[in-house]
Structure 1
Amino acid sequence: MSRDNTGFLDRLRGATNRHDLDALVDCFTPGYRNETPAHPGRGFDGTAQVRSNWGRIFDFVPDIQATILRQAADGDDVWSEWEMSGTRLDGTTHLMRGVIVFTLDGDRAVSARFYLEPVDETPSTVDQAVATQVHESAP
């Protein structure tokens, strides 16, 4: 991974873990585009929405911490696997895991394909999950 790409991820993770909203927003270009392929209606443009989202997260998960589990780069594209954890104000666990694929312009993200999801800790099997996905009746 190139030094610049590693620097971007380190800067983003550091801003997240310090709960530094200004530094976090500065990791993105003004025209930033966030795509959420698994939830197309959740996509957005611009750093105003980044600020709004993360301001709410910092308010409601005051101890949130981010870990980058894996990372790889292909030109301006940076693939990163994340885990974000903390405790919400209501005392429940906040745990998200997944992949974010960033496209960079220098040391800032111009876009991302966002696959970070809340961890589903319900005790179900793969067979039950597939049955739910295909709307299969229980045998």
Structure 2
Amino acid sequence: MTTTDPIERLRDAINSHDPQRIADCFTPDYRAELPHRPAESFTGSDRVHANWVAVLARLPDIRAEVLRRAAAGDELWSEWEMVGTAPDGTQAVMRGPVIMATRDGRIAWTRFYLSPVPGL
């Protein structure tokens, strides 16, 4: 069964390791804002696809978990943890909040604060 909840749908898509399924969670005009790394902000679900092709090449076993979440209408706040094995065999961990706005059941905008956790 496919969920209509955008956060669960994205988590399930990431855990499927299918970059197209991940990109399909986003609107074509999706806008990603990265306040801590503004030069990496971008627009478009095609870029989501390209980014996840690269992530999955580096961390083919990545697993995503949503630790906490809250909603206010079309705005969703969530705390994520993503864990995978890097090419050198070490564990790569990313954690942090992601704020999303949705449109027609898909993610239209995010403020993305997920960051690597060093030394684990």
TM-score, with length taken from structure 1: 0.81
Match of 1:47 among 32, 45, 48: 45
Match of 1:103 among 89, 101, 104: 101
Contact 1:36 1:42 in 2 (8 A): yes
SS of the equivalent of 1:24 reads helix
Aligned counterparts of 2:50 and 2:93: Cα–Cα separation in 1: 20
Contact 1:62 1:89 in 2 (8 A): no
Superimposed CA distance per residue, residues 55-114 of structure 1 (whole angstroms, 9 cap, x where no aligned partner)? 111111011000000010011110010000010122122100000001000210110000
Give the letter for the 1:92 counterpart.
T
* Structure 1 stretches of 4+ moved >4 Å: none
Two-structure CA RMSD over aligned residues (Å): 1.5
Count of aligned pairs between the two proteins: 118
State the partner residue of 1:116.
114
SS of the equivalent of 2:107 reads strand
Matches within 5 A, 1:1-139: 7-121=5-119
Give the letter for the 2:31 counterpart.
R
Aligned counterparts of 2:113 and 2:39: Cα–Cα separation in 1: 13
SS of the equivalent of 1:121 reads coil
TM-score, with length taken from structure 2: 0.93
* Structure with greater proportional strand content: 2
Query: Tell me, which stretches of 5 or more residues in structure 1 are unaligned?
Result: 123-139
Percent identical among aligned pairs is 45
1:50 deviates by 0.5
Query: Tell me, which stretches of 5 or more residues in structure 2 are unaligned?
Result: none
